[in-house]
Amino acid sequence: MLWRRFLAVFIKEFVQMRRDRITFAMMVGVPLMQLILFGYAINSDPKSLPTAVVMGDSSPFARSIVTALQNSAYFRIVESPVSEARADELLRLGDVQFVVTIPVDFTRDLIRGDRPTLLVEADATDPAATSNAISALISLNDTALDHDLKGPLASLKNAPPPFDLQIHRRYNEEGITQFNIVPGLMGVVLTMTMVMMTGLAMTREQERGTMENLLAMPIRPVEVMLGKIAPYIFVGYVQVTIIILAAHYLFDVPVIGSLPLLFGSAIFFIAANLSVGFTFSTLAKSQMQAMQLSFFYFLPSLLLSGFMFPFRGMPEWAQWIGEVLPLTHFLRIIRGVMLKGNAPYEVWPNLWPIAAFMLAAMALALLRYRRTVA
Amino acid sequence: MTLAIDVQGLSKSFDGKTVVHDLTLRVARGQICGFLGPNGSGKTTSIRMLCGLLKPDSGSGTCLGYDVIRETDQIKRHIGYMTQKFGLYEDLTIQENLQFTARVYGLDRRNERVEASLERLGLHHRRNQLAGALSGGWKQRLALAACLLHEPELLLLDEPTAGVDPKARRDFWDQIHAMAAQGITVLVSTHYMDEAERCHEIVYIAYGRLLTYGSIHQVIAEAGLTTWAVAAKGDGARIATLSQDLSGKPGIDAVAAFGAGLHVGGRDAAALERAIAPYRSDPMLTWQRTEPNLEDVFIDLVARAENDPRAA
């Protein structure tokens, strides 16, 4: 008897599982997605990091050092030579990870045996991204000039190394992980909660049978959408405030840039995530499905945005996906403003992609909304 | 006499299955029109097309003078549509639901209207109760009050009395008649024959096709049905076997249980008499000619529609 009743439920569950396409897709899709992302996209030892070189001296020695940097595979020279001011800007914008400064009179001091100092500045807002590259640097000053130090200069090869290396971890002197994680968490928390909040918005109307009544009333889809999104912008701001307070008072994360700029930029990110949630809720048939769909958004956001793993460690295709996701850009904005003190014009390159994403998600949601009328 | 609903040839199909086929309907202002038909006959789809929720695949027409295809915004503003399932928010209070509805319609004197509506409903003292806590009958009254807030000229009610007790149903119909007296047109779908009899005119659809239309007398007269009532002495067992014997016999178009007996109907009076002749001598049965009622007519109509090769 027990067996038969067990079988009744067992069979029914299978039949229902087969009907629920999204759950089925989840069961196959999520492991596949995780395998691909973890297996191919993630690399905790990022190489060929963009580097700018300030050439105070363009002697063969200096060029040998630049070559040695590139040969290490960790550094990819993207701009050289650059002025100090430009180098600083590139670092603030996050366009380069390192700035190498070869000082004026480098060659003269080297030949004299005065052991000139080579300055390497690293963007340490993500300590994980730079640590291996910095380790690789340590051996550089021993070997970089081996070929150049010939004849009368051969004596310089002997220890101590012919030049000094000074490594400057910018924006995060001590390489504290929290400086990277805590601001990033703001983006992650907003992504998860905001998408879920509106993800339920339309499916709840569907499930409770209030949708038809809403559709029969003289109200436009855009009015419904904005009306449903707007209240959660306040919720988002409450979260932003809590995290900033916690970052500052619990974790001593500096807030170098302007808070109004941070709050101003956050609205686009919050609205973008709310729009994604709203889109999901027009695609899904039930609240359960909306939840499941949002999982397909969280996973790449978490893994490909540079939150958990260094963005520049990922292969190009994964970086392209990452560039589409609002979280990627928001992480850059929030780290830029809090740690680097970015100004509005430095935030803009990461702000417009979020705004564009938001508009696209809203357009899709409205398109889908109209179709649900039928 | 102006028409509140005037549509021709409305058709709608979903996934290749025709749900409403070539529906033509004219309802004069101030009339109560009963919309009848079996489950899945296309009543809800028809109502949704009339109120601008669904775009017909073909056909044309007007609702309150507004085009049903192009002027759906105007239609939505001027009609009241009560959905089959309770469509208000169960987690809002009665008053909050009414306020929300009033805001969506952009009504002036909002508080005044909501107050008046609460007063009319007799829900004044329960205004802060959650709508989800109301019984079926009260939910229906609240839903009706919400669709009346913006003073619509046409009410489309989709099975408003399903699951509502007889007393509440009677109150509801009194209200419908009061509104019709004020000139409001009402299209109401129902499964109850007693409700159909309260309508000025009725429409019967099955398999997406309109089968008959008119006042009750017209509908019955046009059906041209001859009906015999049969009663049995003793227990009902005789009636049950008789019902099976008679169904499908040539000349017999409709057999329906009626009280403890049966109604047997046919369009051809002579053929019907020939068909029942062998049973009329049965001493356990008493036969009597009677007037066909709406149900007899509908059973005959559905049976005819079923045999119609066009009904896919």
Q: Are residues A311 and A164 in the same domain?
A: no
Q: What does the pLDDT read at residue B111?
A: 92
- Alpha helices for A253-343 (secondary structure H): 259-283, 287-304, 316-324, 326-335
Q: What is the pLDDT of residues B176-223, one digit of tens each?
A: 999 999 999 999 999 888 899 999 999 999 888 898 999 989 998 888
Pick from B55, B90, B105: CB nearest A208: B90
pLDDT band at B311 (very low <50, low <70, confident <90, very high): very low
Residue B312 is assigned to a structural domain of this protein: no
Residue A282 lies in a domain: yes
At residue A157, the pLDDT reads 66
Q: Summarize pLDDT for A349-363 with one digit per residue, the tens.
A: 999 999 999 999 999
- The tokens for A102 are 């070869």
Pairs of residues, one from chain A and one from chain B, whose beta carbons lie less than 8 Å apart:
41
Residues A368 and A256 in one domain: yes
What residues of chain A lie within 8 A of the CB of B105, using their CB?
217-218
- Backbone φ and ψ of A319, nearest 5°: -65, -35
Element (H, E) at A40: none
Same domain, A53 and A159: yes
| Alpha-carbon distances, residue B2 vs A255, B65, B185 (angstroms) | 71, 9, 11
Q: Are residues B268 and B289 in the same domain?
A: yes
The reply to whether B135 and B15 lie within a common domain is yes
> Looking at the structure, do residues A142 and A256 belong to the same domain, yes or no?
no
The sign one gets for the Cα dihedral A77, A78, A83, A89 is negative
* φ, ψ at A302 (rounded to 5°): -70, -40
Among B193, B214, B235, where does a domain finish?
B214
Q: Are residues A217 and A342 in the same domain?
A: yes
Name residue B7's amino acid: V
Structural domain for A139, as ranges: 49-170
ipTM confidence: 0.83
Task: Give yes or no: residues A164 and A278 share one domain.
Answer: no
Tens-digit pLDDT profile for residues B231-289 = 888 767 788 888 888 888 888 888 888 888 888 988 888 888 888 888 888 888 888 88
B25 touches chain A (CB under 8 A): no
Q: What is the pLDDT of residues A112-156, one digit of tens each?
A: 888 888 899 999 888 888 888 888 887 777 777 777 776 667 766
- The answer as to whether A14 is a domain residue is no
Q: Are residues B77 and B193 in the same domain?
A: yes
Q: Which pLDDT tens digit goes with each residue over B122-161?
A: 888 889 999 999 988 899 999 999 999 999 999 999 999 8
Report the gap between the CA of A214 and the closest CA in chain B (Å): 8
User: What total of structural domains would you count in chain A?
Assistant: 2
What are the DSSP calls for B243-293, one per residue? HHHHTT-TT--EEEEETTEEEEEESSHHHHHHHHHHHHT-TTEEEEEE---
Does a structural domain hold residue A42? Answer: no
Question: Residue B113: CB partners within 8 Å, gap ≥ 6?
Answer: B102, B107, B149
Q: Which residues of chain A have pLDDT under 50?
A: 374
For B68-107, write each residue's pLDDT tens digit: 999 998 999 999 999 989 999 999 999 999 999 999 999 9
Same domain assignment for residues A53 and A114: yes
Residue A278 and residue A135 in one domain:
no
Say if A212 is an interface residue toward chain B (CB within 8 Å).
yes
Same-domain status, A368 and A219: yes
Residues pairing with B309 in the sheet: none
A181 and A260 belong to one structural domain: yes
Q: Which residues, 6+ apart, have CB-to-CB distance to A220 below 8 Å?
A: none
Residue A15: closest CA among A6, A3, A4, A24 = A24
- Quick one: A217 and A142 in the same domain? no
- For residue B105, give the nearest of A208, A217, A374 by CB distance: A217
- Taking only residues 259 to 288 of chain B, the set having a beta carbon closer than 8 angstroms to any beta carbon of chain A reads none
Residues B288, B171 share a domain: no
Q: How many CB atoms lie within 10 A of CB B93?
A: 17
Number of structural domains in chain B: 2
B100 touches chain A (CB under 8 A): no
The domain of B154 spans 3-214
Q: Which pLDDT belongs to residue A162? A: 78
Q: Are residues B133 and B261 in the same domain?
A: no
Q: Does B245 touch chain A (CB under 8 A)?
A: no
Residue A221 lies in a domain: yes
Task: Please tell me whether residues A164 and A182 are part of one structural domain.
Answer: no
B170, two tokens: 């009677």
